[in-house]
Amino acid sequence: MSGNPGRHRDATGTALNAADGTWPEHSLLSGLRRRDSEALLNLGTEVSYRARQVVIRQGDGHGHAVLVVSGHVKVVVTSEFGRDLLVAVRGRGDLLGEMGVLEGEPRVATVVAAGNTTARVFKAVELTEFVTRHNDAALAVARSISDRLRELQSRWVDLIVCPAHTRVARVLTDLVDQHGERTPDGWTPAIPLNQSELADLAGTALSTTEKALRQLQRAHLLRRSARRIVVTDLEGLRREGDRDARRP
Amino acid sequence: MWWGTKSLMATLPVADAAALLDAGVPREFNPGDVLVHEGEHTDHVLLVLFGYAKVTAGDVDGGVALLAIRGSGDLIGELAALDGEPRSATVVAVNRVRAAVISRGRFHDFLLRHPVAAEAVTRSVAAKLRWANRRRVDFSGCTVKVRIARVLLDLAANFGRPTSDGVHIAVPLTQPELAALVGAAEPTVHKVLADLRKRALVRTGYRAVTVLEHTALRALAGP
């Protein structure tokens, strides 16, 4: 999601945010009244996942929904050609699996823990009853689905109208805005993603993403170490990824 | 009134559908008229009564992405009405369109008073997300031919009218528009359509496509 400078302010340290009861902007929980979010957090059971553990499996039935309380998850779609495609990263306060619950359709994607992650796991009936009892919550669920639709539409538009280099810059900016962590010299996505996963998010070939990263590094907008990308000039990177900047 | 088979209105209980219609003020649009502009800060909802509209975004040098087609019974603009953010896309009337314009206040009021409808609206947004998601995955994983077959089947399922020899897609779309919807280059789309025509799976005319062999097209589209 673009056009929202400063969103990274909400992505600072989990502990701090949890302590004052705030949730990242655009997450489901941030859209709920305190009393509703407390009720939701008391629902279901708390489950801990280790890195790479499957939270929801593509193609499964629609038995449960998951609310991320801490950590991050990756949303991966396996196509019939057998290749896994990373389509999104979700974090604290995000609800997953509610579409399957609402629509009664099989899972469209696999959700995997990106590191140690805790979540409230709701049975389908727990979630539908909650939403029926709390009208505002029903709207918040609709809003959180809307938000993901906006994000996906925006990515699709990028795919059609933006050069690959711009898409890589945009994906990195979004990752930092939504799931960024402070480092001494900049920002880094809280979940280590390899270049092939970045290429998935940007919709480019792996070699194209590698080339774009090299260019961005040469322009001193980011630096790379083992599995980390540190964005050293976030506003500069944001400008690189600005689709509208090239508007005549 | 006739609603698209997979549209929101087709899934609403009769009383809820009537209440939603009551909440709106009818308005007519001519072909090419803009219903909502990408980026503008308006928050009303439009319920399509008849006609077709195309949802486009990203109007810059690189071209325009055609995100979706909406027809009778579909909601337009509900994202901004739900989250209060700027319009995510520009919506343009393809032919003559009549729509009920519903203010954000009345739309929210309707959702709070009609929980079954609120769930149906959420489901309809979820269905749009599902479709967008699949198109994104297809883009990376499927050939243009498979993607065209899938888009044609979707259009036929949503906006198809049975005819004596197949299903006519009632949305008047040019081939560049079809190419934009699939997210592929125009010449490639021309080539695939020519092949589908030769194999008598579809018939194409000026801004018209008829699916002649539904089963064969589905086999081509894969699972």
CA distance A149 to chain B (A): 5
What letter does residue B85 receive in the DSSP assignment? Answer: P
Task: Evaluate whether A73 touches A55 at the Cβ level (below 8 Å).
Answer: yes
- The answer to whether ipTM exceeds 0.90 is no
- Counted across chains A and B, CB pairs separated by less than 8 A come out at 141
- What is the largest distance, in Å, between two alpha-carbon atoms of chain B? 53
* Chain A partners within 8 Å of B60 (Cβ): 161, 243-244, 246-248
Residue B209 to residue B173: CA distance in whole angstroms: 8
Preferred mutation among A26, A90, A153 to probe B, highest tally of B CBs within 10 A: A153
Preferred mutation among A77, A78, A160 to probe B, highest tally of B CBs within 10 A: A160
Of A99, A143, A153, nearest to B57 by CB-CB distance is A153
Residue A229 has pLDDT above 90, yes or no: yes
Q: What is the mean pLDDT of residues A47-71?
A: 92
* Chain A partners within 8 Å of B63 (Cβ): 160-161
User: In the sheet where A110-113 sits, what is the strand order?
Assistant: A54-56, A110-113, A73-78, A84-90
- A37-55 per-position pLDDT tens digit: 899 999 999 999 999 999 9
Is B25 in a helix, a strand, or coil? strand
Residue A140 has pLDDT above 80, yes or no: yes
In total, chain A counts a number of residues equal to: 248
- Does the distance separating the beta carbons of B111 and A80 come in below 8 Å? no
Q: What is the mean pLDDT of residues B26-53?
A: 96
Is B77 in a helix, a strand, or coil? coil
Give the number of other CB atoms < 10 A from CB of residue B23: 18
- Does the distance separating the beta carbons of B79 and A146 come in below 8 Å? yes
Tokens of A168: 């890589």
Of A108, A162, A246, nearest to B130 by CB-CB distance is A108
Q: What is the mean pLDDT of residues A87-103?
A: 90
CA distance A152 to chain B (A): 7
User: Across-strand partners of A96?
Assistant: A66
- A143-184 per-position pLDDT tens digit: 889 988 998 888 888 888 889 999 999 999 999 998 899 999
pTM for the model stands at 0.86
Q: What percent of chain A has pLDDT over 70?
A: 88
- Does the distance separating the beta carbons of B133 and A152 come in below 8 Å? yes
Please give the full DSSP string across B181-195, using - where no structure is assigned.
Answer: HHTS-HHHHHHHHHH
* Chain B partners within 8 Å of A149 (Cβ): 79, 88, 125, 128-129, 132
What's the sign of the alpha-carbon dihedral B125, B130, B135, B136?
positive
Residue A241 to residue A228: CA distance in whole angstroms: 20
Supply the mean pLDDT for chain A. 85
CA B159 remoteness from chain centre? 9
* Chain A partners within 8 Å of B86 (Cβ): 3
Q: What percent of chain B has pLDDT over 90?
A: 78
- Does the distance separating the beta carbons of A160 and B65 come in below 8 Å? yes
Give the number of other CB atoms < 10 A from CB of residue B91: 26
Of B58, B86, B142, nearest to A160 by CB-CB distance is B58
End-to-end CA distance of chain A: 22
User: What was the pLDDT predicted at A131?
Assistant: 87
Supply the mean pLDDT for chain B. 92
In total, chain B counts a number of residues equal to: 223
User: What was the pLDDT predicted at A7?
Assistant: 38
User: What was the pLDDT predicted at A108?
Assistant: 86
Q: Please choose, from the candidates B187, B191, B188, B193, the residue with its C-alpha nearest in 3D space to the C-alpha of residue B208.
A: B193
Preferred mutation among B122, B138, B139 to probe A, highest tally of A CBs within 10 A: B122
Residue A198 to residue A183: CA distance in whole angstroms: 20
Non-local (6+) Cβ contacts of B111 within 8 A are: A135, A138, A139, A142, B117, B118, B121
- Does the distance separating the beta carbons of B132 and A138 come in below 8 Å? no
Q: Which of residues 124-183 of B touch A (CB under 8 A)?
A: 125-130, 132-142, 180, 183
- Does the distance separating the beta carbons of B63 and A146 come in below 8 Å? no
Task: Evaluate whether A145 touches A99 at the Cβ level (below 8 Å).
Answer: yes
Q: Side chain identity at A247, as an amino acid letter?
A: R
User: What was the pLDDT predicted at A10?
Assistant: 39
Cα radius of gyration rounded to whole Å, chain B? 18
User: What was the pLDDT predicted at A245?
Assistant: 56
Of the pLDDT bands very low, low, confident and very high (cuts 50, 70, 90), residue A139 is confident
CA distance B89 to chain A (A): 9
Non-local (6+) Cβ contacts of A218 within 8 A are: none
Q: What is the 3-state secondary structure (H, E, C) of chain A?
A: CCCCCCHHHHHCCHHHHHHCCCCCCCCCHHHCCHHHHHHHHCCCEEEEECCCCEEECCCCCCCEEEEEEECCEEEEEECCCCCEEEEEEECCCCEECHHHHHHCCCCCCEEEECCCEEEEEEEHHHHHHHHHHCHHHHHHHHHHHHHHHHHHHHHHHHHHHCCHHHHHHHHHHHHHHHHEEEECCEEEECCCCCHHHHHHHHCCCHHHHHHHHHHHHHCCCEEEECCEEEECCHHHHHHHCCHHHHCC
Residue A239 has pLDDT above 50, yes or no: yes
Of the pLDDT bands very low, low, confident and very high (cuts 50, 70, 90), residue A11 is very low
- Does the distance separating the beta carbons of B136 and A156 come in below 8 Å? yes
User: Across-strand partners of A111?
Assistant: A56, A75
Q: Please choose, from the candidates B156, B184, B180, the residue with its C-alpha nearest in 3D space to the C-alpha of residue B192.
A: B184
CA distance A150 to chain B (A): 6
User: What was the pLDDT predicted at A117?
Assistant: 96
Residue A153 to residue A98: CA distance in whole angstroms: 19
User: What was the pLDDT predicted at A92?
Assistant: 92
CA B43 remoteness from chain centre? 20
